[in-house]
Structure formats: C-alpha cells, structure tokens
Amino acid sequence: MSRNLLYIFLSLLLVLLLVGVGLRIGSFTAGFSTVAEALFSYNPANQTHFAIVELRLPRLLLALIVGASLAFSGYLMQAMVNNALADPYILGTASGASLGASLSIAGFVATTWSGVYLPPFFALAGAFGVTTLVILLGYRQGQIIPAQLLLAGIAIGSLLTAMVSLFTFLSGSESAIRSIMFWSMGDFGRANWQVLPYPAVALFLALVLFLFLQKELNILLLGAERAGTLGVKVARTRWLILITVAVVTGFAVALAGSVGFVGLIIPHVTRSLLGLTHKLNLFLCALLGGGFLVACDILSRLLYPPAGLPIGIITSFFGVPFFVYLLLKKSYRFN
Amino acid sequence: MFKIHFRYALVYWVACILLFSCESQPARQPETATLTVTDDLGRKVTIPRFPRRIMALAPSETEMIYAVADEKTIVGRTQNCNYPIQVKNKPVVNNYPMDYEKLVLLKPDLVFTVEGLTSAEEAARIQELHIPVYYQKFAKVEDIFRGLTDIGRLLHREDKAKTVVDSLRQALSQLQVRSEVGAEPQVLAVTWPDPIYVYGQNTIFTDKLQYIGAENAVKEILAQPYPALTREYILKLNPDVIIGGTFEKMDATFFKLYPELKQVKAYRNKKIFAATDDLMARPSPRVVSSIRELKKFIR
C-alpha cells in the first residue's frame, strides 16, 4: 500500500519537475529564478515573463491535459473491450478529427470564418461524428458488442486514413501537406489560455465520475457475463465509458491532433506499477500520460528547435521500446 | 562471249574495290548530335547539341526559358505555369503527379527543372524515356543571372541571354539601397499560419533583401529552408516588417489566431504587407520585380 502511494507521489513530483524544466526551454533565455518570478510576480511588459506565462505554460498544460486524457481514455477502452491492444482511437475519434482538420486545411471546406481559424472546430465535429457512427455500427439490440465495435472502428479508421491521404495528395501546397502531417501526428503549438478549459473540464469530470465506477471497471475485466452475475450493470457501464471516451478524446485530438501510443502504452505502465485493480489506477494513469507527453514535447523541441518535431514521432520512438520491454517482462499480465 | 563477260566482271570488281577503298578513306567526322554537360546538381546529362523542342517542369523554369529561348521551340508547360501570358497557349503536362505519357507525346528533346519540384526518381524515369533532364539551382539572385546565361549557352542563344541579363542587372543596380550597419529593417516572411512556416535564412529571399538594405529576421540557419517557428521565437525576433498578407487580412486571421504576436514591432507600426506569391516563390527573371515590390513595402 505504502509503495503504491510512493509511486503516485513520485509521479506527481516528476510531472511538476518536468513542467518546471519545460518552462525554462524556449527562445528567451530563462533560469529557474526567472520562471518563478514570471509565475509569482508576473510583469506583462517583460517579454520573457510574457513568453513563459502566455506561451510556454499553456503549451505544457495542453500537453499534460492531452496526455492525461488519452491515457485515461485508453485505460477505459481496454477495460471495456477487455483487450490489451485497445486504445482511445479504436472508436475512430482521431481519424475523424484528422479528417475534419485536413478537409479544412486543404481548403475543401472553409479554413477561416470571420477571422476564426476553423480546423480545430472541424476536427471536433469530425471526432464526434465519426465516433457516433462507429458506436452505431457496434450496437445491436440495445447492446454494445465489443468485437463488432472494434471491427467497425478499424474499418472506418482505415477508410478515413485513406481519405486524409487523398486530401493531402490533392492539396497542391507543400505547406498544407506539412500542416496536415502535423495534425495527423500531433502538435501543441496552438495552445492558448482560451482553449485549455474545455479539455481540462472534460477530463476533470470524467476522472471524478470514474473514481466512483472503478469497482465496475475492475469487474468488467473478468468478462461481461461474470461481471453481470456479480451485479455490474454491464450495458450502462459500457455506455458511460463510450460517451466519456468520445468527449475526452474528442477535445484532446481537436486541439492537439492525434498523438499516438500514449493511450495504448500508459495504461499498461500503470498496471505494471500498481497492479490490475488498484483504486488509484485511473488517477496514476492520467498523471503518467500527462507527464509522458510533457517530456515528449520538451524532447521534441530540444531535438529540432524551435518548433519541434510532430509529437507522435517522439511518442513512438521512446514509447514503443519501453512498451516492448514491458511485454517481455514476465511478471506483467493484462488479465 | 566469255571474254566479254570476263571483261565486264573485271570492270565490276575494280569498280567495287575503288568504291570501297574510297569509302574507307578517313572521312571528315560530322559533328556528333549530342553533347554531355553538367547541370547545377553536378549530374552529367547528355543533351542534343541543338535542342529544338524544350520545356520546363517548374513554373519558375518556364519563365527562365521564355526569357531566353525562341518561343517556337517551347513545346509545353506545367499546370501551374502562368507567366508570361502566352504560355497558356502551350499544351499542359502535369508535374504532380508527373504525367509521363503526355511528356512523351510532346517529345521534348530537353527539359529544364529546379531542385525540389522534380524528384530524383522522376528525373531518372524521364531519362529512361530518352528525355534529358537539366536541373538548375538558385540560392542567390546572382544564380538566376548565371542560370539565364547557362540556358543561353545550351540553346545557342548567348546574345539573347546576355541582353536579358544585362538589362536585369541594370534595373537591379537602379533599385539598390544601402542601410547603415545595424539599422537594416528586419523582415519576416510568413508562408503558412499553422504551424507558422516562414522563409528561412538559406533562401533566395534573404539575398533579395540585401539589395534593398534589409535583412531576413530569421538569422539562424535551421534544418529546413522554410522552417516552422514558435510564437515565442517570433516574439524574440521582433521583426520590423512582416510579409504574408495585408494588415487587415493578417489582423483578422493570423493575429486572431496568435494574439500574443501583436506585441511585435511590425504589428504595432502596421508594417504588414501582401507580396505577390509568384514573385516571392519563383526564382525567375522577374526577381527584379520581386525586389522592387519588397522595396516598396520596406522603404
């Protein structure tokens, strides 16, 4: 018990440390004292303060929230379909967001409307639209059939990937192609204080809701039938998971593009640390997911300054080897 | 009877021997139909000694060959070629994706292109179709003049090329302005809003600016010629002038998306301008017009 709390405490410390380090990195030189000064006695006329508070902090917080949202959604999806390979994107949410954004970036629908930059809105619409479609396809006689849902998600996802490739191909401008690529692989460059509350509130509400449903989630891992006999309302829990994942992931990908692997890897890391059914699993999962993306963002900007590499490249490069290590570790089992 | 026949046969054979011996005399070698030249990428290209059917696979190169070549020898254009206006009468060969069949149909005996618009793979495929591909590369304004001279030499129109280059040089020298050291206006040219892509240090844009006593605000040589920048990086650069759209348009789009950037000098002094895209993007004989346009904004 105390060891598990220690893990959580260390993760929290690590995330704070990463955010602290992240706040130092950028074009304006800033030591820790300048960072502290910018945070606690902010002077908007000071350009370094301005960069730290208005640009670096929202960017790091977006990375934190997106990482937490995706890892949390991944954990829920793996529990729902009872499959170690599931991630938040199996509902087609990310492909839908990419489709919406690329349609707008390539100019097939409006890119701006009375000065408002539209790709994030189309991304949100695409995310929700496609997720609804996949859920409808996975639904039969009042029940969500996990296998059918998985297959529908894979099929629709492939179709949408092909469509995004088509729009990328058809868009003549090299910059538009690179822009679509950044969307497809994730980017925190657009972060600002105005957009942060949406994914943050969605994640917070979802975390609170599932703190009360943690027991049902754990029982779902035993399979739908046994969960039913143990008194879990399987259909209701599945619906709650689906709606939560759709909303939380939808906001995350609409703002940052589809960052890969976080939603797949971090839930497994969490279980390997705290065990399969610990009551703080969801909390730690969100924390680790956030920390992981903050670290990846810092790394991407250090490796390829100033704007950084698309974030999905970094998550794969550093996440996948670790994941393979986890798979080979004999002591870890999914169920 | 036999004797006559023998005599004829003898004459026949002597005639034959004389004929063959004449033929085997070392005759004057006619000029070969081809020659091998080295293009700007250092590739050895075998081209016709007298190219008669030429075209370019990039809009900027079409402008280059139009300035020097005999228009009758230009057999086609790409879908994006729109200058000079008479180019619109030429048949179109798509360059993205490359329409090899149409290219073969037009039978050019030499095609010009620039690095970046035609991939090495496409060039190899075109050469397999027995159409030589000549690459030009432009890092500085001076390279455009050299490129025009090269085209003149390859097409045996040296005089025409010299006239064009001389008049461009003269127009350029009339435009030239010097600034005091350290007082050069810092110019940032934005090509795309999300992520923010700009003209980097190692582009011809940087060289254009030095003729009018200005500098590219991006000093660092980044990995890409058109790098993506963060908002923070642009705040640090604090450019005096931004090229990328009219003030009204940029205010309603770019600065609405990134209100933090309203702090830069260019925004505060409303020094934000829309340059003609084709002039900015194409290294062509219109480079002087491009520099003139930039001078109008900056000076």
* Cβ-based neighbour number of residue B260 at 10 Å: 17
Q: Concatenate the DSSP letters of all residues of chain B into one string.
A: -HHHHHHHHHHHHHHHHHHHHHHTS-PPPPPPSEEEEE-TTS-EEEEESS--SEEESSHHHHHHHHHHS-GGGB--B-TT---SGGGGGSPB--BTTB-HHHHHHH--SEEEEEBTTB-HHHHHHHHHTT--EEEE--SSHHHHHHHHHHHHHHTT-HHHHHHHHHHHHHHHHHH-----TT-PPEEEEEEETTTEEE--TTSHHHHHHHHTT-EES--S--SSSS-EE-HHHHHHH--SEEESS-HHHHHHTHHHH-GGGGGSHHHHTT-EE---HHHHH--STTHHHHHHHHHHHH-
Question: What is the SS3 assignment for A150-214?
Answer: HHHHHHHHHHHHHHHHHHHHHCCCHHHHHHHHHHHHCCCCCCCCCCCHHHHHHHHHHHHHHHHHH
pLDDT band at A305 (very low <50, low <70, confident <90, very high): confident
pLDDT in tens, A108-132: 888 888 777 888 899 999 999 999 9
Top pLDDT among A173 and B49 is at B49
Query: Which of A143-152, A167-176, A202-211, A217-226 bottoms out in mean pLDDT, i.e. has the lowest?
Result: A167-176
Cα dist from A263 to A73, A78, A316, B17, whole Å: 7, 10, 12, 90
Residue B53 has pLDDT above 60, yes or no: yes
Does residue A335 lie within any of the structural domains? Answer: no
- Confidence check: pLDDT of B5 > 70: no
Same-domain status, B167 and B61: yes
What's the pLDDT score for residue B9?
65
| Residue spans of alpha helices (H) in chain A | 2-24, 32-40, 47-50, 57-81, 93-105, 119-137, 146-170, 174-185, 197-220, 224-229, 234-256, 262-274, 281-303, 311-328
Give whole-number Cα distances, A275 to A215, A268, A332, B37, B68, in Å.
14, 10, 9, 70, 75
**Residues spanned by the domain of A184:** 2-328
B102 shares its domain with B200:
no
Positive or negative torsion for Cα A10, A16, A19, A25: negative
Specify the pLDDT at position B12.
63
Q: What is the largest CA-CA distance in chain B?
A: 115
Q: Are B134 and B216 within one domain?
A: no
Note the pLDDT tens digit of each residue in B248-278.
Answer: 999 998 999 999 999 999 999 999 999 999 9
B-chain residues within 8 Å CB-CB of A179?
192, 194-195
Q: Tell me whether residue B40 is in a domain.
A: yes
The span from the CA of A137 to the CA of A160, in Å, is 15
Question: Which residues on chain A place their C-beta less than 8 Å from a C-beta of chain B?
Answer: 26-28, 47, 50-51, 54-56, 105, 112, 114-117, 119, 172-173, 175-176, 178-179, 182, 187, 189-190, 192, 301, 304-308
pLDDT tens-digit profile of A254-282? Answer: 899 889 889 999 999 999 888 888 889 99
For residue A226, is it within any domain? yes
Confidence band (pLDDT; 50, 70, 90) for B143? Answer: very high
What is the arithmetic mean of pLDDT over A308-313? Answer: 90
Test A115 with B253 for CB contact under 8 angstroms.
yes
The minimum CA-CA distance between A44 and chain B, rounded to whole Å, is: 11
Query: Does residue B24 surpass a pLDDT of 70?
Result: no
Mean pLDDT of A205-224: 90
* Residue B163 and residue B75 share a domain: yes
Contacts of B231 in chain A (CB under 8 A): 55, 189
Residue A334 lies in a domain: no
Which residue of B lies nearest to A119 if distances are taken between CA atoms? B194
Residue B26 lies in a domain: no
Query: Does pLDDT of A142 surpass 80?
Result: no
Pairing of strands A143-144, B133-136: unpaired
pLDDT band at A20 (very low <50, low <70, confident <90, very high): very high
Of the candidates A55, A114, A187, which has its C-beta nearest B195's C-beta? A187
Q: Is A43 among the domain residues?
A: yes
Alpha-carbon distance of A181 to A175, in angstroms, equals 10
Per the domain annotation, does A48 fall within a domain? Answer: yes
Give the per-residue pLDDT at A182.
79
C-alpha B59/C-alpha B63 separation (Å) is 6
Q: What percent of chain B stands above pLDDT 70?
A: 90
Nearest CB to A27 within list B191, B192, B236 = B236
From chain A, pick out residues whose CB is under 8 angstroms from the CB of B236.
27-28, 47, 51
CATH of the domain at A164: 1.10.3470.10
Summarised one tens digit per residue, pLDDT across range B65-117 is: 999 999 999 999 999 999 999 999 999 999 888 899 899 899 999 999 998 88
Say which residue the tokens 């997720």 belong to.
Answer: A131
CA angle in degrees (0–180, nearest 5) for A82-A125-A85: 20
Quick check: is A333 in a domain? no
**Domain total in chain A:** 1
| Predicted local distance difference test score (pLDDT) of residue A308 | 86
pLDDT of residue A330: 62
Q: Is the pLDDT of residue B22 over 80?
A: no
Among the candidates B139, B174, B209, a domain finishes at B174
User: Is residue A233 domain-resident?
Assistant: yes
Average pLDDT over residues B33-56: 95
β partners of residue B134: B112
Q: What per-residue confidence (pLDDT) applies to A178?
A: 78
The nearest alpha carbon in chain A to B198 belongs to A175
What confidence tens digit (pLDDT) does each residue in B203-233 have?
Answer: 999 999 999 999 999 999 988 899 999 999 9
Please state the ipTM of this predicted complex.
Answer: 0.76
The pLDDT assigned to A143 comes to 79
Indicate the pTM of the whole model.
Answer: 0.82
Structural domain containing residue B83: 34-174
- In chain A, the residue whose alpha carbon lies closest to the alpha carbon of B94 is A172
| pLDDT over 80 at A300, yes or no | yes
B22 lies within 8 A of chain A by CB: no
Mean pLDDT of A152-173: 88
Q: What is the dihedral angle through the alpha carbons of B58, B63, B67, B72, rounded to the nearest 10 degrees?
A: 70
Q: Flag whether B81 is in a domain.
A: yes
Buried b (16+ CB within 10 A) or exposed e, A210-239: beebbebbbbbbeebeebeeeebebeebbe
Q: CB B229 to CB A114 under 8 A?
A: no
Domain boundary among B140, B174, B208: B174
| Interchain contact B277–A (C-beta under 8 A) | no
Contacts of B197 in chain A (CB under 8 A): 175, 178
- For residue A99, which amino acid is it? L
Is A51 in contact with B235 (Cβ distance < 8 A)?
Answer: yes
Domain boundary among B174, B194, B218: B174
Q: How confident is the model at residue A318 (pLDDT cuts 50, 70, 90)?
A: confident
CATH of the domain at B71: 3.40.50.1980
Instruction: Say what the pLDDT of residue A287 is.
Output: 97
Per-residue confidence (pLDDT) for residue B25, from 0 to 100: 46
- CA angle (B148, B151, B156) in 5-degree steps: 125
Average pLDDT, chain A: 89
pLDDT in the model for residue B184: 94
SS (H, E, C) B131-184: CCEEEECCCCHHHHHHHHHHHHHHCCCHHHHHHHHHHHHHHHHHHCCCCCCCCC
B150 shares its domain with B206: no
Q: Calculate how close chain B gets to A37, using CA atoms only, in Å.
A: 18
- Indicate the residue type of A62: L
DSSP 3-state of A111: coil
Across the interface, of A173, A179, A305, the residue whose CB is closest to B194 is: A179
Total number of domains constituting chain B: 2
Residue A42, number of CB atoms within 10 A of its CB: 13
